[in-house]
Amino acid sequence: MRKLKAKRNNDNVKELLDKIEDAARKDKNLMPLILEAVKSYATLGEISDTLRKVFGEYKSSVIL
């Protein structure tokens, strides 16, 4: 993972993650931006963390 992050264009990845966050806040189509981020070697964790900032994390409720 360290080698990947060292080789990729981190400025581009950051810019794409910012675009994903902005699009998520504006309820726009995320898939083209996510695909572009993946092609730029953004990790699943980075993309997921970006989306969690906007949408939060699902927690199921237990009903007994």
Domain boundaries defined on the chain: 2-55
What's residue 24's pLDDT?
98
Which token pair is 54? 């906007």
What's residue 64's pLDDT?
82
In this model, does residue 50 exceed pLDDT 90? yes
Residue labelled with tokens 């360290």: 2
Are 55 and 62 contacting, i.e. CB atoms less than 8 angstroms apart? no
What's residue 40's pLDDT?
97
Per the prediction, the chain carries an average pLDDT of 96
Q: 9-26 pLDDT, tens per residue? A: 999 999 999 999 999 999
28 conformational bin, left if phi > 0, alpha if psi -120 to 50, beta if neither: beta
Output the CA torsion sign for 27, 33, 16, 38: positive
| pTM: predicted TM-score of the whole model, two decimal places | 0.88
